[in-house]
Chain A
């Protein structure tokens, strides 16, 4: 089993739609989690961090389910500018950070 797994997509959604991505992780000792956004041929940038059960920032909600070892990202009222790859990030018990392969999102007019 991969340490961090994501559905690669792509997710093709119309503007205004709600879309959700899941990410599963294998290290039960992980305490903190992140969602990064990466635009085509650009560097990743932090979108949200998740330390407890969840986090909300405007149209974006991240939730953590420790029992099932997954985190989710919900995007409401999708905008064209949300089109990107969303990377799930799980620091390990040491100093190593594991990125998922990413979920591609395309928002269409």
Chain B
């Protein structure tokens, strides 16, 4: 399977703990996105990478959240000092982009990491 993969698929943690999620995009894709989705809502944009550069970060993202894509391939999303409000599905997507900021490329999503903070 050469689609987007995410690990782990499920994570249960206690409030105050740190968690890290991994996303492996489709191999030739240069663009990578992180989203958060809660029940009954659409995916909420968190951050965007073009190759290894983080070019956009949502203002909704608190300082407890950080994302990296060190070599322009896989990416990690870390949440420090988790809170119950962080419970959600964290989705990663990738795309092959050749256009400018007005994105027209198709995003392919991974299966997500479901986080539960107790």
Residues of A participating in the B interface, judged by any CB pair closer than 8 Å = 4, 8, 30-32, 34, 42-46, 49, 51, 87, 91, 93-102
Contact = CB atoms under 8 A, between A and B. Distances in A.
Contact of A101 (B42, B58, B112): B42
A51 B104 contact: yes
A43 B112 contact: yes
A3 to B, nearest CB: 10
A44 B43 contact: yes
Interface residues of B, number: 25
The 10 A-B residue pairs with the shortest CB-CB distance in the complex, in nearest-first order: A99-B42, A43-B109, A95-B56, A91-B103, A32-B104, A95-B48, A31-B102, A99-B43, A101-B42, A46-B106
B65 interface: no
A97 B45 contact: yes
Nearest to A93: B101
B41 interface: yes
A45 B42 contact: no
Contacts of A34: 106
Nearest to B91: A43
Given A97-B33, A99-B35, 14 more contacts: A30-B102, A43-B91, A43-B110, A44-B43, A45-B109, A46-B108, A87-B43, A91-B103, A93-B102, A94-B101, A95-B103, A96-B58, A99-B43, A100-B42
A44 B91 CA distance: 9
